[in-house]
Chain A
C-alpha cells in the first residue's frame, strides 16, 4: 500500500469515529496553531519587503489589507497541509503534537477551516487590492497544498526543491499588490528564496533523517544518503550566493546590500563546505548551516528594505 493511500485510510478511520456525535474540544489556540504561525511570520516579512520596495505607492490601509490577506492565505495553506499530513505528522517527533494528530481538531474541521480561510483571503485581496495579487495568492495556496503536500512530498526526494516555490511567491504577491504587475526584480526575490530552500531544509533533514524515514517521507538523505545530500547542499548554495548578490550587481540596490550579500554569502559557502566535509555522527555543521540560513534570508531581505529607504514605508505611514 502506498503512503498516500495509507494517509487516506487514516483520514477515513479518523473521521468515521469523530462525526457530529463527538462535539469538538478545539480551542481558538488550536486553530491558530493550524495556521503555522512561524511560517506565516516569514511569509508576511518577505511579502512586506516585496510590497515596500516595489515602485509606486500604496495607501497604508491597503498595504495592511494586502499583508493580512497574504498572512491568512499562508495560514490556510498551513491548515490544509496539517489536514492532509495528519498521518505522517503523528509519527514524527517534530510534528506529533500538532492539533490534528493530537485529536484536538478533527480532520474535517481542519479542512473546512483551511478552505474557508483560503476563499476569504483570495476574495478579499482581489476585491480590495487587485486581482493579480489575488491570483498569485490562489496559485501559491494551490501549489503548496496540491503540488507539494499531496503530490511531491511523499513521492520524490526533490519535494522541497519544487515545493519550495510556494514559499518563494510571497514577495512577488507583495510586489503585485503595490504595482499590479511583475518585473525582473520580484522574480529575483523569488529565485533567492527558491534556491535558499533546499540547503535550508536538507541541513535540517541531515540531522532529522530518522524522523523522516520513520514517517516514510522520501527526503533526500533518506533516499540518496548523506554524501549525496551534502554535495547537493553545496551545489544549491553555490547557485544561491550569486543570486543573493544579483540585486546589487544589477543595480537595484546600493553598497550596503551588496556588502551584506557578499559577506553573508561567503559565510553560507563556508558552512556549506563544512557540511560537505562533516562525517556522521557529527552534526554540528548541519545545525550551523540550518541556523545561519534563517539569519541569511532575514539579513538579505531586511537590508534590502533598509537599502531602498524602507521602500517609502515610513513616508507612507507618516502621511
Chain B
C-alpha cells in the first residue's frame, strides 16, 4: 500500500493564478515607475545631485 504524498505541493486554482499574475504585474509596474521617478528626479536636480561629501 502506497503512502499518500504531497510531491505536487500546493496546486493553485485558476482564480488564484489570475490573482497572483495581476499582483505580479502591479508590482512590476510599481517598480518600473519608481525607477522612472528616480531617473526623472536625478535629471531635475541636475549634476549637483552627484556632488556629495564623503
A interface residue numbers (CB < 8 A to B): 21, 23-28, 31, 59, 61-62, 65, 68, 120, 124, 128
B interface residue numbers (CB < 8 A to A): 10, 12, 15-16, 19-20, 22-23, 25-26, 34, 37-38, 40-41, 44
Check A26/B37 contact, CB under 8 A, given A21-B10, A61-B44: no
Check A124/B26 contact, CB under 8 A, given A25-B16, A26-B19, A27-B19: no
Main secondary structure of the interface of A (DSSP, over half): helix
Query: Is the CB–CB distance between A25 and B19 below 8 Å?
Result: yes
Check A65/B41 contact, CB under 8 A, given A21-B10, A23-B10, A28-B26: yes
Check A124/B37 contact, CB under 8 A, given A27-B22, A28-B26, A62-B44: yes
- Closest A residue to B27 by beta carbon equals A28
Q: Which of A24, A25, A128 contacts B37 (CB 8 A)?
A: A128
Q: Kindly list 17 other residue pairs between chains A and B, CB separation below 8 angstroms, not including A28-B22, A28-B23.
A: A21-B10, A23-B12, A24-B16, A24-B23, A25-B16, A25-B19, A27-B19, A28-B25, A28-B26, A31-B26, A59-B44, A61-B41, A61-B44, A62-B41, A62-B44, A65-B37, A128-B37
Give the docked Cα–Cα distance between A27 and B40 (Å).
30
- CB-based closest 4 A-B pairs: A28-B26, A128-B41, A23-B16, A61-B44
